[in-house]
Structure 1
């Protein structure tokens, strides 16, 4: 519940945009593990990682000043697919960072990587295929979203592992 409240605040009262921020620049969100984040085994529950990632993605959009741009177009983000790899557990009161960065985009989605680190060590890595929808329910091409958020950005080549994953789960652009 705590992370849902945090997400609501991050989305309705976003942090200030970072001047000069580009869509390919990483965004860092700092957090601390709370009692409600833990599972029976006393480490962060796998579902909680996804909620934390939601907050970090909202902060990423806020850093770009994207909320107003998206709102005026009636666009909003949703997760089309995600995958996680867990390396080291996060435990009660641990401080950690989530670094969110865009890996690339195509005519369907924007691909993001979200890396959890604690004291400089990798805890978990998530890859997200994010889709944007209009209030009318139309899918907005990832390339159109990026053009609005950062008109100077050019799509980097998608890492091979991410391209294979996107194809395997059916979110990659189909010719």
Structure 2
């Protein structure tokens, strides 16, 4: 049976946070495991490993995905952004600052996924993508409590910091509107 002895590793170059990383990797490796175990980018967390909690959320070509549900091999030509690529100590992204100002975390385990998801979600709103609770499909919906909660529903927080997470997102979104973004 040739398939038993089949080669399961292949060369792969992933562009993560603007930096190309070349490795030889098992073709069954998830993007989450490649980021954490092969590239040392441990900001992306492994929560449920079933796509149910959102702790592993990263941006791929600007869109949010659960990296635990995606094979690394699928992303050879993509631009992947993890929390490490969003901001850095001393040069935080304004959304990270909003999370700190609003105390939008407790244990912090979900925070990287929450921030990546919020960045992707805000781009979806700016592009006019409706959500389940959007009242009108034409203009960008207002970022009220219901809209944010619906759009962020794939990201769980065991500490229940949701009111502060929403406040951080609203604060950042308002500052972007003030800048004309």
- TM-score of the superposed pair, with normalisation by structure 2: 0.29
Query: Where is the helix percentage greater, Structure 1 or Structure 2?
Result: 2
- TM-score of the superposed pair, with normalisation by structure 1: 0.29
Query: Where is the strand percentage greater, Structure 1 or Structure 2?
Result: 1
* Rg larger in structure: 2
Question: Which protein, 1 or 2, shows the higher relative CO under an 8 Å CA cutoff with sep ≥ 6?
Answer: 1
